[in-house]
Amino acid sequence: MERLFLLLEKNYEEMVAIRRYLHERPELSFEEVHTPAYIANFYRELGLEVREGVGKRGVVATLRGGKPGKTVGLRADFDALAIQELNDIPYKSKNDGVMHACGHDGHTATLLILARCLTEMREELAGNIVFIHQHAEELAPGGAKAMIEDGCLEGVDVIFGTHLWAPTPLGTVLVREGAIMAAADRFEIVIQGKGGHGAEPHHAIDAVVTGAQFVTQLQTLISRRVNPLNPAVISVGHFEAINPFNVIADTVKLAGTVRTFEEEVREQIIEELELLLKSVCLGAGATYTYNYYRGYPPVVNHPQETAFVAEIARDIPEVDHVKTCEPFMIGEDFAYYMEHVPGTFFFTGAKDPCWETAYPHHHARFNFDERAMLIAAKTLGNATLQFLQKNR
């Protein structure tokens, strides 16, 4: 491990340079062109086997070791978000309205430099490593499922992934056996009333009032219908009625998200959300359309692989704490990989110790301590080498 750690430290400045280069050139989910081309060219220069256009936009590179053995998959995502960056930094996004506001630029830089260092150790490797660079993590249906269908996991025995996590202090690694991230679904609703003059509500069916009643009552699904021992979240993020101030709206559009861990709870909410909507609209004399879109399933870590990463993370000099975290209600399509092969997904703390607070992920001022990339690379690299060594 010492040789790998020294190589990573030697290449750390380039890791930072790659991250900043990508940060200046963010690309939205399913619109990535420059980023996958950059990644593929990097691997070609390393002399690895490269597949482009995997699942349409993904990149897969394979490093074959000098000795026979198992195959480890390592995954990083590379898409950005539709956010106008507000950070005043030298490497600020050059693409208006698009920003790496979740750390995927760091994930990509981490895996590229880790790949370079492991390539230098090729003859020592007892097995193979598949580097999976995934597009479109941020937008369902995501890139993972399509990449799997296109063969990115063929021959892979185990998979590891990490997320640089700005709310958690640098030097902390968060792990959890079982469900660590939630299923992330979306719903869209249109409530159809009857428009009218603001001074004559008795001649109208107010879609705004009907929508407001629905949103208010929606939380009773969580507080009174779902078993309180089963975590669930419903949030309405969009409520739209475009009307002059003195006109009663005939139409309201709503959209929101549902987060669950248990499939039974997920099915319950899908059904009861519409029952509630139907009853509210019936009472108001309104009609509705309801569309529910299943997003990513929960990220469920395998016990053996999670315990393994927790153990080897303690060998990283820069890691001060390895903690079992509470489940997160956020979603991740890394879930699909672990439906096919055993693995684990962990969080690498990325909050600068000098910061009093860190801006959250998906914020226009999001950033992270770049030293976290080195910790992530060492942890993923250590897990890879030790897995291959133990399974020769």
Annotated binding residue at 281?
no
Of the CA atoms within 13 Å of residue 389, those in its CB half-sphere come to: 9
Dihedral sign from CA coordinates of 84, 106, 308, 322: negative
Q: Is 137 a catalytic residue?
A: yes
Q: Is 105 a catalytic residue?
A: no
List, in order, residues 6 or more apart from 339 with CB less than 8 Å away: 297
* 169 SS3 class: strand
Q: Which of 38, 165, 33 is nearest to 98 (CA)?
A: 33
Dihedral sign from CA coordinates of 98, 144, 303, 260: positive
Name the catalytic one among 32, 137, 250, 262. Answer: 137
List, in order, residues 6 or more apart from 305 with CB less than 8 Å away: 158, 160, 342, 343, 344
Give the span between the Cα atoms of 146 and 58, in whole angstroms. 9
Annotated binding residue at 107?
no
The burial class, CB within 10 Å (0-12 / 13-18 / 19+), for 347 is buried
Token pair recorded at residue 56: 């349409």
Annotated binding residue at 362?
yes
CB 105 within 8 A of CB 26: yes
Token pair recorded at residue 38: 């950059």
List, in order, residues 6 or more apart from 382 with CB less than 8 Å away: 1, 4, 312, 313, 315, 316
Annotated binding residue at 197?
no
Annotated binding residue at 138?
yes
Name the catalytic one among 32, 79, 85, 262. Answer: 79
> Which amino acids are annotated catalytic?
79, 137
* Binding site per annotation, positions for Mn(2+): 102, 104, 138, 163, 362
Annotated binding residues, written as ranges, equal: 102, 104, 138, 163, 362
